[in-house]
């Protein structure tokens, strides 16, 4: 599999295809990098959203205030951010022909981990 195809597939189903491409692309460091980057970024968003959902449910059950709704709003905004970044990642994967690039806005945090996981 070439780098361009592998990098596009790594972002199609967010962290799930990132995980798959991380292992399938073991012979191609660029594909492995994109798989790791997708796994770290979109997996992180998923974990944070689950945590916010749990906290929002707890606060809604314990207090009858609107604190749970605030957590819901944060989840919504984080989900919207993730959706926008998903589109950006797919477009950049197509345009970059499989070359490495950091995810905009969060690349400084995600890239070192993706580089380490890719073995580069």
Can you give the residue ranges of every domain in the chain? 3-102
Residue 47 CB contacts under 8 Å (≥ 6 apart), including other chains: none
Q: What kind and span of H or E run contains 6?
A: helix 3-12
Question: What would the pLDDT profile of 58-76 be if each residue is shown by its tens digit?
Answer: 988 888 878 888 999 999 9
Alpha helix (H) ranges present in 13-106? 15-24, 29-62, 67-96
pLDDT digits (tens, 9 = 90+) for 14-58: 999 999 999 999 899 999 999 999 999 999 999 999 999 999 999
CA distance 69 to 58: 11
pTM to 2 decimals?
Answer: 0.89
């Amino acid at each position: 599999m070439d780098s361009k195809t592998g990098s596009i597939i790594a972002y199609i189903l967010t962290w799930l295809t990132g995980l798959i491409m991380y292992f399938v692309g073991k012979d191609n460091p660029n594909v492995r990098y994109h798989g790791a980057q997708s796994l770290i970024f979109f997996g992180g968003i998923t974990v944070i959203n689950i945590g916010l959902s749990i906290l929002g449910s707890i606060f809604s059950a314990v207090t009858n205030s609107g604190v749970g709704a605030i957590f819901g709003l944060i989840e919504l905004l984080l989900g919207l951010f993730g959706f926008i970044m998903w589109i950006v990642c797919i477009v950049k994967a197509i345009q970059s022909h499989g070359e490495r690039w950091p995810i905009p806005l969060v690349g400084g945090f995600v890239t070192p981990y993706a580089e380490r996981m890719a073995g580069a």
